[in-house]
Amino acid sequence: MSPGQFNERGGPLGAQVDIGGPAPGLKQAYAENWFLGVQRSFGRSWIVEADYTGSTGVHLYSIIDRNRVVGDRDPVTFVVTRPNTFFGRINYADNSNHSSFNGGTFLVRKRFDAGYSFQAAFTKGKTMDLMGAAPGCNKCSENANVFDAYNISFQRGLSDQDVSKQLSFNFNWDIPKPKTDNAFVARTLGGWELSSLASFQSGTPQTVFIAGGPATDYNLDGNTYDLPNTPSFGHTKTGLSRSDYIKGVFSASDFPSPCPTAVPCGVEGNLGRNTFRGPGFAQVDLSLAKNNRLPWFSSEGANLQIRGEFFNLLNRVNLTNWVTNLADGKFGKAVGSRQARTIRLSARITF
């Protein structure tokens, strides 16, 4: 572009382009962790343990469009007047976010002895932050939506990855070889291994919001991602079954607008972030293996292991989180599920 095609702030004439960049004093994010544990052994191979773990995330990164404030959008024409009228979104990266975790774990463990090992652990914890992303999407956190670009502390709540309760166990058993003089029976019934891993946990937090275009921009900041008011039944709803999530745990009419009429009024709802939870998760995996010695394979012999692995052995339907956008026709319903029972067979030779 020639110099005459730029406005006085360096943007192109006739358009509000989006720009972005980091804060001049952007700091390195880091975590602080602390731990206290008590362990006691009993019997020949058993251990019980109680642990407390705490951590905090400091100077966590956030990328927020700062070129918007409450009341930017005209409630009638829906035209957005930005504080800096020379640009569109100004995505500013800084250290606005922070997080904390506090949790306790009680564990029982048996070291491998007499042909088997076992471990069971129960954890209860709480993770809080200002911005977050769903489990498995940690790098998405800094780009998470915010309701008010200049009041990030309003969003402090449970993290998207908070799991308040979790019970897990695993075991491994070398099934004893039968005592017999019959070589065929000994080879057939000997060499078996059985192992299992199971996890049961509460659902992760979810935010009920509305993103239905300019007409649902409650706080008129030009960003169509807003909160309704708290419903009559409060911030939680307990005792929900999987069938409840499939049928629909809520209806959009349960969540009132913060505005007295259908016209956006420049006010954010008071419901808060991550006030409800999705369906829980429960899965049992099992593995069964048969070891067979092959003396003819090499001079030192070899082992042929045939293994069958059963993921989600009980074929439990683990629902994904329910739809939380009030503007979505499927609001309140869980519309997907995780892995069904899966069987994998494999063979391995070691020598």
Q: What are 39-96's pLDDT values in tens digits?
A: 999 988 999 999 999 999 999 999 999 999 999 999 999 999 999 988 899 999 999 9
At residue 8, the pLDDT reads 74
Instruction: Residue 172: name the closest of 190, 193, 186 by CA.
Output: 193
SS (H, E, C) 107-144: EEEEEEECCEEEEEEEEEEEEEECCCCCCCCHHHHHHC
**Token output for 220:** 């008129």
280: helix, strand or coil: coil
- pTM for this entry: 0.85
| Spatial contact of 322 and 278, defined as CB atoms under 8 Å apart | yes
Provide long-range contacts, Cβ within 8 A and 24+ apart, for 175-180. Answer: 175/115, 176/115
Q: Where are the domains of the chain?
A: 3-350
Token match 């394979």: residue? 297
DSSP category for residue 231: P
Q: What are 280-323's pLDDT values in tens digits?
A: 999 999 999 999 888 877 767 788 899 999 999 999 999 998 99
Instruction: Residue 166: name the closest of 246, 270, 281, 56 by CA.
Output: 281
| Spatial contact of 305 and 291, defined as CB atoms under 8 Å apart | yes
Q: What are 110-169's pLDDT values in tens digits?
A: 998 888 999 999 999 999 999 987 666 666 778 888 999 999 999 999 999 999 999 999
